[in-house]
Homo-oligomer: A and B are copies of this chain.
Amino acid sequence: MRIVPRHPLALSIAAIGLVLAYAARAAAGGEGSLDMLPVLEALALILVLARLGGALFERFRLPAVLGELLAGIVLGNLGLVGFHGFDSLRSLPVVEAMAQLGVLFLLFQVGLESDVAKMAAVGGSATRVAVLGVVAPMLLGLGVSQWFLGQLHPLSHWFVGATLAATSVGITARVLGDLGKSASVEGRIILGAAVIDDVLGLVVLAVVSGLIAAADTGRAFDAMGLAVIIGKAVGFLLVAVVVGRWLSSVTFRFAARLPGEGLLLSFGVAFCFLTAFLAGKAGLAPIVGAFAAGLVLDDVHYQALRERDPQKRDLSHLLAPIGALLVPVFFVLMGMGVDLTVFAQPSVMGFAGALTLAAVLGKQVCSLGVWGPGVDRLAIGLGMIPRGEVGLIFASIGRTLTIGGVRVVDDMVYSAVVVMVAVTTLVTPPLLVWRMRQPRL
C-alpha cells in the first residue's frame, strides 16, 4: 500500500476543499454505543478453546473439527457445574455473525476448489443422489414421527420428515478438505448433491409450510406462489453459473485496470457476499450462493490481478487466514447450542434415536443413485449423513408454525431434531475418514 504523491500541496487544497463540504450527522451520537468488549472477550475465548479442543483431538488423530465442537459443548454447559460467567456469550449477534461468515468463507473456498466442468460431469449422479437423499429420509422420518407421535396432525409428520431432507455440506466439506479429497469423484458427487439437496429441501420446506399455513387459516393454498418459490430456488444455481461466470470475468477484468492493492481479495469476497445475498433473496440458504460464487470464479478471471501481487497469491491463499480465524468460531457455536440436561428425558432420547436412524439409513439409500463403475457408493452415503445447521433452521421454523393453535414442532420434536443433527454431524467425520482411507479395490 505504498503511495507516491506528486502534488502534495495541490492535494492538501483538494482535501481541504473536500472537507469544506463536511459536517455533522446528529444521529451519529449512537454510533459509539456499540459495546465491543463482550465481543472481544468472547472471540478471544472461542479462538483459544477451539484450538485447544482441536489440538486435543489431533493428538489422538481425530479430526480437529470434533475438538472444536467439544470445546463448544464444554463452554455451553459450564452452567451444569455452577459456572455462569460465560452465559452471556450465547446472545452476541456479532459473534454469531462471525460464525455465519465463517461458513460462507468455508463454502466459498470449497467452491473455489471445485470446477463447473467437473461438477457437470457428475451432475447426473449428483442429481439422482440428491433426489433419493431427500425422498428416502423424508419418508422414513414421516414413518418414525407417525409411530412415536400418532396424536399430531398429519402435516406435522411431513414437517418432521422435511427436517431430515437437507444435507449440511459444511462438515463433509471440512473432512474432505482435511483428507485432500474435495476434488475426488465421490467428493464432487457429495458436494454437488448437497447443493441440489439444499435446493430440494428448501422447496419441500416451502411446500409443507405452505400446506400448514393453508390448513391453519383455512385459506386456499396458493399454487402460484408455490410455483414462484420453486422456480426461484431451482433457477438460482443455473442463473448463478451462467450469469456469475460472465459477471466475474467482467468484474475482474475491470478490477485489473484499477490501481491499488488488495483488489483481488476485496472483489472476490464482495462477489461471494453478493451471490450469497442473492441466494438468500431467492429463498435459498446463503451458503449455497457462497458455494456457487466459488464454483464460477476461475483463476483465469483474475490472472492479471494475481500477477500484480508480489507473492503471486491466488484467492484461496488470501482467504486461508480469514477462514482459519472464522471457521472454528462456527463449530464452537454449534457445540455451544447443545444442552446436556435434555438427557434426563428418556422419551426424547427414544424418539431422537429412531429419528437419527431414519436420517442415517435414508441417506444410505441415496447412493443407489450413483450409476456406473469405480465409484465408492458407501463413501457417498456416509458423506451425505450430516444435517447440521439447515436441519436446525428447519426445526426452528417449524416452532413458529401452528395448526389449530398447536405448534407443528413442539419442544420434544425440536430436541429430537437437535440430537439427530448432532449425532449425524459427529459420526460423519470418523466414518468418512475411515471409508476414504481404505485401499480402493
Chain A residues at the B interface, C-beta cutoff of 8 Å? 1-9, 11-12, 14-16, 18-19, 21-34, 36-37, 39-41, 43-45, 47-48, 50-52, 54-55, 58-64, 66, 70, 73, 76, 90, 93-94, 96-97, 100-101, 104, 177-180, 255, 258-263, 265-267, 269-271, 273-274, 276-277, 280-281, 286, 318-319, 321-322, 324-325, 328, 333, 337-343, 348-349, 352, 389, 392-393, 395-397, 399, 411, 414-419, 422-423, 426-427, 429-431, 433-434, 437
Cβ-defined contact, A260 with B51, below 8 A: yes
B430 A11 Cβ-Cβ under 8 A: yes
Closest partner residue, chain B, to A335 (CB atom)? B22
Q: Which of A24, A41, A62 has the most CB of B within 10 A?
A: A24
Nearest CB of chain B from residue A274's CB, rounded to whole Å: 4
A339 touches B26 (CB 8 A): yes
Q: Which 3 residue pairs across A and B have the least CB separation, nearest first?
A: A24-B415, A8-B434, A23-B342
Q: Are B19 and A396 in contact (CB under 8 A)?
A: no
Partner among B6, B55, B73 whose Cβ is within 8 Å of the Cβ of A22: B73
Given known A48-B267, A261-B324, contact A5–B343 (CB-CB < 8 A): no
Complex Cα gap A281–B395 (Å): 39
6 contacts between A and B (CB under 8 A): A2-B178, A2-B180, A15-B427, A32-B396, A34-B93, A34-B97
Contact check, B286 vs A40: say whether CB atoms are below 8 A apart: yes
Q: Are A28 and B396 in contact (CB under 8 A)?
A: yes
With the chains together, A286 CA to B38 CA distance in Å? 12
**Are A47 and B273 within 8 A (Cβ)?**
yes
Instruction: Return the chain B residue nearest A21 by Cβ.
Output: B340
Contact of A12 among B12, B276, B427 (CB under 8 A): B427
Give A2 to B104 CA distance when docked, in angstroms: 21
Contact B260 A64 (CB under 8 A): yes
- Residues in chain B near residue A31, CB distance under 8 A: 96, 333, 337, 392, 396
**New contact pairs (17) apart from A8-B430, A19-B422, A51-B255, CB-CB < 8 Å:** A15-B62, A16-B426, A21-B343, A22-B338, A22-B426, A23-B419, A24-B418, A26-B414, A29-B414, A32-B393, A34-B96, A36-B97, A43-B269, A44-B269, A44-B274, A51-B260, A93-B94
Question: Which of B63, B341, B415 is in CB contact (< 8 Å) with A5?
Answer: B63
Quickly give the copy total for this chain: 2
Residue contact A37 to B396, C-beta cutoff 8 Å? no
A55 with B280, Cβ < 8 A, contacts A5-B62, A418-B23, A434-B5 known: no
* Chain B residue with Cβ nearest A90: B27
Contacts of A24 in B (CB 8 A): 338-339, 342, 348, 414-419
Which residue of chain B has its CB nearest to the CB of A313? Answer: B321
Contact across chains for B40 and A280 when beta carbons are under 8 A apart: yes
How far in angstroms is the closest Cβ of chain B from A328? Answer: 7
Contacts of A44 in B (CB 8 A): 269-271, 273-274, 277
Inter-subunit contact A426/B18 (CB<8 Å): yes
Given the complex, which residues of B lie within 8 Å of A179, measured CB to CB? 2-3
Give every chain B residue within 8 A of A22 (Cβ-Cβ).
73, 338, 340, 419, 422-423, 426
Residues on B with beta carbons closer than 8 Å to the beta carbon of A431? 8, 12
Distance in angstroms between the alpha carbons of A199 and B21 in the assembled complex: 32
CA distance A426 to B20 in the complex (A): 11
Q: Which of B11, B73, B177, B333 contacts A60 (CB 8 A)?
A: B11
- Asked if B281 contacts A51 (CB within 8 A), the reply is no
Q: Which residues of B contact A14 (CB under 8 A)?
A: 62, 430
CB neighbours (8 Å) of A263 from chain B are 51, 55
Task: Find chain B residues with CB under 8 A from A32 CB.
Answer: 389, 392-393, 396-397
Known: A36-B100, A70-B18. A328 touches B5 (CB 8 A): no
